[in-house]
Chains A and B, each alone.
Chain A
C-alpha cells in the first residue's frame, strides 16, 4: 500500500502547477473564455511541450508511458485553475480508445497528432433522449460496402468546437438500450454531412450539438469490435470519471480555501465572520467533504486496472460521493461569500459552476447510485 507520488510525478505536478499559476490567473482565463474561440491554443502547445498530451501512450506508440495516476495529478492541477482546454476528451477519451483498442494503423494515424497537439478530439457519446445510459443510442452506423453511414444527433459534445476529430458511439445493430450492437468510430469533423451548432457552456467551456446526415465513414475508422464496443465505452467512461473526479477535487480545494480566506477578511457585527462558530463548522464540513473526495478520486484511479466489477463499483462510488461533495462545497462556498458570491467578478462563482457541471458529466449522483446498487446485488 502506498499513497506517495514518484519523484517524476511530483515534478509533473510542480511544473503544471507553475504553468497554471503563471498563465492561468482568473482574469486571463476570463478574457480567454469570453474571446471568440473560447480557449487558448498556446496553452495547448505548452501542454504538448511538457509532454502531457502523450502521457497515456506507451513509448512504443510515441507517448510517455504514463498511467491513470499521472492523469489524476494533471487533472487536479487543472481543477485548481479551472482549465478549459480539452484534455479529457482528447487525451483521456480519444487516447483511451486508441490505447485499448486501436489498430496499429489507427495508432499511427492518430497518436502523433495528439502528442504534438495538432489534433483535438471530442467524445460524442451523449444523445438528447439517452440521458446517462451509454447504451441508449439512436445514432446509427449502417454498414455499406467498405464504409459505414452515420445518422443521428449527439448532444452537448464538450470541446467539439475546437476539435478536428470526433469519437462517436453509434448503433450498428439492435434496438435502443440493447447492450449489444454498439460500435465506436473516429471521424474527421470536416467530413461531408456533419453539421455542428457551437455554444458556450455555463462553466466556461465550449460544446456543440453534432448532427450526422448520411456521413460516410471508412470501415477502418471502426475502433474495437463492431457491435461489441459497450465494455470498451464503459471502460473509457470510467477513466474519464476518474480524471474528472480528480479535477473536481482540485476545484473543491480552491473553493474551500477561498471561502476560508474570505471569512478571515469579511467583517460583520465588528468581527471577521470566520470567528462565528456556525460558519466555522460549515467550513469544516466542506473540508471533510473535500478530503473524502480526494480519497474517492484515489480509489477510482487505483481501481481502473482491476477486473470489471471492482473497477465499476469504485468508479460509481466515486462519482456518487464526489458529486454530492461538489454540490455541497459549491453551494456552501457561495452562501458563505454572501452577496459577493453571486457576482461574476469573483472567482468563487466560477468554481461553483464548474463543480455543478461535474455532476452531470458521464452520469450524475442518481445514475451512479443506481449503478452501485445494481452492481452490489450482482
Chain B
C-alpha cells in the first residue's frame, strides 16, 4: 500500500500538464463563467480535446477512449482543475455516450458517437418532470407509436443548457399499462430542432439561466431513435445515473477551492489582522480541508478498486454525498469570508453596463451567487437522500 505515483504516472502528469498549458484557451476559465458565454466558448476546450483524442478518456478504446487507467484519469482531472478548465459537458461524454455504445445499435453508434467526441453536437438530458423528481419512474411524458414514428407529448424540466442543445435523450412512457411504473419506459434520442419542442428558461435563485422547461407537443421522432428495447429504458437510465455519480466528488476542484478560500481569507481583515489568522475561521477551513482529505483517499480507494476490476459500486454514493457537502461548505465559507461584500447583487450591476466602477473586491463578486447556486448539488444527480436510500439497499441490505 502506498500513495506515491509511479514514474510512468509522473511522466503522464508532465505530459498532460504541458499539453494543457500549451493548448487551453486562456480566456476560458470556470472562474469567469458568464451568463452570456456563447456555446462556442463553453465547448472550446472540448473541441481541442476532440482533435487530440482526449475528449472521452473513460470510453472503451474502440469508441475513442484513451485507454488511461483510473489513476491516469484522476491525474487528468487534477491537471484540468489546476487551470480551472471548463470541461466537456457530461450530457454527451459521460451520460448518453456510454448508453449509446453499451446499448445502442451500430447505426446509432455511427451517427452519434463522433459528434459527442468532437464536441460538435450538444446534448441535453430529458429526465425530470414537474411531477417526477426523486420519484423519476413516475414520469408522464408519453411516446405513442404511429407507423415509423413515436409521437411524444409531455413536459420535462431542469433541462440543463437545453438552450444550446442539438440533441436530447428523453425518458418517455411507452406502456401506460405496465405492472410497475419502471417497466413501461423507453429511452429515446430526439433532435431538438424537431417541430413541437419548446425550450423555456427557468431563472434560478442566483439570477442565472442554466436550466429550462422543455415542452413537447406532438413531437414526431423516427422509431430508429429508440435505444435498445422498447419499455426497457429504465435499465439504461439507471446505468446512466451510476455513470453520472462517478467523478461527482469533485475533489481536485474543491482542493483548488480551498486554496482560493485561503487567499480570500488572507486578504480580508478581522480585528486588524488577516481573517485567516482568526482561529474560529481557520478552524472551519481546517475542518473542510480534513474532510476533503478523507474524501480524496476514499475516491482513490474507489479508483484502485476500479483498476482492479471492481466497477464503481454503490460506494460512489458516498462520493456524491460527501463531495457535494464539501462543495457547498466551500462556497458557504467564501461567502462568510467576504463579509459585507456578499450582499451586493453583482449581476444587476453587470446588467446595468460594464463601465461601472466595480463594487468591492473581485473575489466577492461570485460569492453569494456561487453559494446559492451550489445548493443544487445535493439535489441533482439523485438527491443526497436518494443516495442514502441506495446505500441502505445495496450496502446495508435493509
Q: Which A residues are within 8 Å of any B CB, using their own CB? A: 1-5, 69, 260, 263-264, 274-275, 277, 280-281, 283-285, 287-288, 291-296, 298-299, 301-303, 314, 317, 320-321, 369-370, 372-373, 376-377
Contacts and interface: CB of A to CB of B under 8 A. Distances in A.
Contact of B1 (A4, A370, A377): A4
A314 B396 CA distance: 30
A1 B71 contact: yes
Nearest to B290: A317
B235 interface: no
B392 A376 contact: no
A280 B398 contact: yes
B161 interface: no
A317 B297 CA distance: 13
B286 A369 contact: yes
A1 to B, nearest CB: 6
A281 B385 contact: yes
Contact of B290 (A298, A320, A370, A377): A320
A3 B300 CA distance: 8
Contact of A302 (B2, B298, B385): B2
Nearest to A280: B392
Contact of A296 (B277, B297, B304, B398): B297
B293 A284 contact: no
Ordered nearest first, which 5 A-B pairs have the shortest CB separation?
A: A295-B297, A292-B294, A3-B304, A280-B392, A317-B290
Interface residues of B, number: 43
Given A264-B398, A291-B315, A292-B322, A281 B279 contact: no
B318 A291 contact: yes
Interface string B278-315: 01001101110111011111101100110010000001
Nearest to A372: B286
Main secondary structure of the interface of A (DSSP, over half): helix
Given A1-B304, A291-B298, A291-B315, A373 B279 contact: yes
Interface in B24-75: 71
Contacts of B318: 287-288, 291
- Name the residue in B3, B294, B322, B391 with the highest tally of chain A Cβ atoms < 10 Å from its Cβ: B294
Given A1-B304, A288-B322, A373 B283 contact: yes
A303 B290 CA distance: 14
Interface in B130-146: none
Contact of B286 (A69, A295, A299, A376): A376
- Name the residue in A1, A264, A301 with the highest tally of chain B Cβ atoms < 10 Å from its Cβ: A1
Contacts of A277: 389, 392
Contacts of A1: 2-6, 9, 71, 300, 304
B392 A283 contact: yes
B286 A287 contact: no
Given A1-B5, A296-B293, A299-B297, A287 B391 contact: yes
Contact of B298 (A284, A292, A314): A292
A292 B295 contact: yes
Contacts of B297: 295-296, 298-299
